[in-house]
A and B are shown apart, each in its own frame.
Chain A
Amino acid sequence: MSLFQAFLCGLLYFLAQSNVTMVSYGTIYRPLVNGWLVGLILGDPVMGVTIGATINMMFIGFISAGGSLPSDIPMAGILGTALAISAGLDVDAALALAVPLGLLGAFTWVGRLTLDSFFNPLTEKIIEKNDSLKGLWLPTVVLPQLFLFCITCVPVTIAAYFGSQVVGDFLGSVAFLIPIMSVVGGLMPALGIGITLKFIFQGESRVFLFLGFLLAAYTNLPMIGIGLIALIAAIIYIQITSKIEGAE
């Protein structure tokens, strides 16, 4: 990996963490997307999206609901994919790499939420000056993002650049960890789905969880097929319940 490619990976991690809506949380934050982009940077988008999607499956349902996340998802996706492609690892080894990378997590999150508070007095001063809020975007956008750039882009660039040279040998000496990490990686979606269920596993919707589960367990329907059946089931349910309510 060239230094420039490593820098692009670092830049990608900065964008993923930027919290700027359209480029961040719903898109570049997710390994499905950032793995593909890392693949493009390194000249192998097919491998990138394959590894990215595999890592993303591990973090499916990991969401921040007004709180913190236990994992650094884009770190796992970006560094995991970058190191795997540049060291020529297979998907299993990539996953073994991504699990600990993701678990390292949350430092960026906590760091930025703590230190961004220091920009608030500047905003305060701009309000006090009462001069048409001139320069307001400095403390609310530019400075916090510059600071974020320093704590995200720089370390990931370094890790991607030097990591690709050592990770191959390193994984060779800890090969016994790969099956362990693959068991852990298989368990992790259970947590993400559990967190998401906290929002929607309520009332009469509950039984549909088991319907979806059984459909997947006993048929070979692809995800999109089950999604469409679920949509129809939801519509039928609402039609019937509103008829009943209307008749009362």
Chain B
Amino acid sequence: MAEIKKLSKETLNKCFWTWEWTYQACYNYENMQGGCFLDAMAPAIRELYPAGSDEFKDAASRHFEFYNIENTTGGGVLGLVLAMEEQIASGDEVTPDSVRSIKTGLMGPLSGVGDSYMQGVIYPIILAIGCSYGVQGNTFVPIIVILLQAIIQIGLARAWFNLAYNKGSDAMLDLIESGTFKNLLTGAGILGCMVLGALIMNFVSVHCGITVNTGGEEPFSLQAGLFDTLLPGILPLAATLMCYALVSKGWSSTKVLLLLLAIGVVGSVTGILV
């Protein structure tokens, strides 16, 4: 086996930071992040293949293809592909086609993993806690939000990148399959669910305006007399579970939004909702 060509640390960093900053700078329907992934690979291609050679051109064109992945786990695939390109450039048995299949094979499942912890847990928790202070006029909160998001996102992307580059695809897949990782995802899911449950109570607001004239001095208010005494927040909970059910059934979020708009307008005009 030939000596493996290794990319310099500087080039690896260049690839990583290009990915982090501009991975979606030219987001488009035709190949989504295709051009930007090539942009992130460019420093490595320049170092591994002689300029103007056929190998150079082949490497460039195999990375200008349909590609769409979540940012942090995408850091992992980038690391993996960089390690594979090193092997291809060294004449190892890795074929260019296997790079393609790794990219297309991993982007779906890894986006799922990344979206579930980033968009499902980390974003909503940081923003929810931030908003609850923000509404009181706390001007430090936005700064903390910016710092937290940046540190978490770059940190996770770099961790995936290092793991995948140094240890390869098996290590990455082993990690995802491992008990510890599953525990972490379960824990994140529990954390997310509990915070979202609290958000339903604190952020969603649905008030029933129906009053029943019982002949007494004050008309009986359904909201104050029934809902607030029995289970405060039952209407927000019902509204949220309805949205969840509709979205899970395959309704587009636009459709659900229009439904909410209709409910809100009709409810408000008739006085059922206030």
Which residues of chain A have a CB within 8 Å of any CB of chain B?
Answer: 18-22, 26-27, 30, 32-33, 35-37, 39, 45-47, 49-50, 52-54, 56-57, 60-63, 65-66, 68-71, 103, 106, 112-117, 119-120, 123-124, 127-128, 130-133, 136-137, 139-141, 143-145, 179-180, 183-184, 186-191, 193-206, 208-218, 221-224, 226-227, 229-231, 233-235, 237-238, 241-242, 245
Q: Do residues B52 and A131 form an inter-chain contact, with CB atoms below 8 A? A: yes
> When A53-B130, A139-B26, A140-B38 are in contact, do A184 and B253 touch as well, CB less than 8 Å?
no
A-B contact pairs, 9 of them (CB 8 A): A21-B21, A130-B52, A145-B25, A190-B260, A191-B253, A194-B243, A200-B120, A203-B186, A234-B186
Q: Do residues B25 and A53 form an inter-chain contact, with CB atoms below 8 A? A: no
Neighbouring A residues of B8 by C-beta, 8 Å: none
Chain A nearest Cβ from B57, distance in angstroms: 5
Mask, B120-131, CB within 8 Å of A = 1, is 110111011111
Tell whether B183 is near chain A: CB-to-CB under 8 Å.
yes
Tell whether B101 is near chain A: CB-to-CB under 8 Å.
no
Neighbouring B residues of A180 by C-beta, 8 Å: 264-265, 268-269
Neighbouring B residues of A50 by C-beta, 8 Å: 134-137
Chain B nearest Cβ from A157, distance in angstroms: 22
The 10 closest A-B pairs by CB, nearest first: A53-B134, A212-B197, A194-B243, A199-B120, A184-B264, A186-B205, A116-B28, A212-B194, A216-B201, A230-B194
Mask, B200-211, CB within 8 Å of A = 1, is 111111110000
Tell whether B23 is near chain A: CB-to-CB under 8 Å.
yes
Choose among B28, B39, B248 the residue that contacts A113 (Cβ–Cβ < 8 A).
Answer: B28
Tell whether B91 is near chain A: CB-to-CB under 8 Å.
no
Q: Do residues B60 and A237 form an inter-chain contact, with CB atoms below 8 A? A: no
A187 and B266 CA atoms in complex are apart in Å by 13
Interface bin, chain B: 35 or more
Most buried by A among B124, B132, B136: B124
Q: Do residues B120 and A120 form an inter-chain contact, with CB atoms below 8 A? A: no
Chain B nearest Cβ from A124, distance in angstroms: 7
A37 and B193 CA atoms in complex are apart in Å by 30
Chain B nearest Cβ from A123, distance in angstroms: 5
Choose among A32, A33, A37, A130 the residue that contacts B56 (Cβ–Cβ < 8 A).
Answer: A130
> When A140-B26, A190-B243, A202-B189 are in contact, do A57 and B264 touch as well, CB less than 8 Å?
no
Neighbouring A residues of B194 by C-beta, 8 Å: 208-209, 211-212, 215, 226, 229-230, 233-234
Neighbouring A residues of B179 by C-beta, 8 Å: 242, 245
A45 and B138 CA atoms in complex are apart in Å by 9
A236 and B120 CA atoms in complex are apart in Å by 21
Neighbouring B residues of A69 by C-beta, 8 Å: 253
Q: Which of B81-89, B159-167, B168-176, B232-240 contacts A (4 or more CB under 8 A)?
A: B232-240
Q: Do residues B187 and A190 form an inter-chain contact, with CB atoms below 8 A? A: no
Tell whether B106 is near chain A: CB-to-CB under 8 Å.
no
Q: Do residues B268 and A179 form an inter-chain contact, with CB atoms below 8 A? A: yes
Tell whether B223 is near chain A: CB-to-CB under 8 Å.
no
Chain A nearest Cβ from B176, distance in angstroms: 16
Q: Do residues A208 and B134 form an inter-chain contact, with CB atoms below 8 A? A: no
Q: Do residues A227 and B131 form an inter-chain contact, with CB atoms below 8 A? A: no
Chain B nearest Cβ from A224, distance in angstroms: 5
A211 and B146 CA atoms in complex are apart in Å by 29
Mask, B146-163, CB within 8 Å of A = 1, is 100110011000000000
Mask, B202-232, CB within 8 Å of A = 1, is 1111110000000000000000000000011
Neighbouring A residues of B23 by C-beta, 8 Å: 21
Besides A49-B137, A62-B253, 12 other A-B contacts (C-beta < 8 A) = A50-B135, A66-B111, A69-B253, A113-B27, A130-B52, A189-B199, A190-B206, A204-B186, A211-B197, A223-B202, A235-B187, A241-B186
Tell whether B191 is near chain A: CB-to-CB under 8 Å.
yes
